[in-house]
Structure 1
């Protein structure tokens, strides 16, 4: 079997490095915990191709976060457009807001909700298990 030029386990480690921490002796994960000595040693053997792959993965993750935030903002804006139409003193429920929505806005709201559900990492782990 040919040797891979990019080792997936190294790329995963590289994507988890917290670049904002400047401790010269240790590398830390984005979650704050230090890497083990074995992980440290493996990271220090990374190739330029693995660094490029990790950077590409981080860009993809950042793009997905921005896309999710844009969808959340669009959903909030769509919903508040109709909340503002409710009479003062009305307790706001989703059903009352949906009843006010134009068909196109209701369809867009449903599309955004489903798209956000599909991109929910917690829901994915719950349905597919953690690997």
Structure 2
């Protein structure tokens, strides 16, 4: 994603500095297309993750199934928050709404930390289960 942001900011800034409104709109449209592609790819990855998760649940303990459910809820919340952020990104940039940007970034960071903690918990549960076999 970073190369997309870098290209967007560089191209948009260059167009804005010379007052080329057509180029600014072109850059905004390009960026919107790139964001849509990234969001589509992330949705596909999420669906693959859910399919693999469902396979693992077939042999998981009840405790692991609960942890899987928590992990899936956090993953969905992260995906939803990312989609919200990306859908508001152009508005944030154009209005220079740094407060909203910071708020959304903070929420994403919090969800990310919580997701990592639950994923670690699930791995520990799996290791314990494997040791008993």
**TM-score strictly above 0.5:** no
Normalised by the shorter chain, which TM-score bucket?
Answer: 0.3 to 0.5
Higher share in helix: 2
Q: Normalising by structure 2, what TM-score? A: 0.36
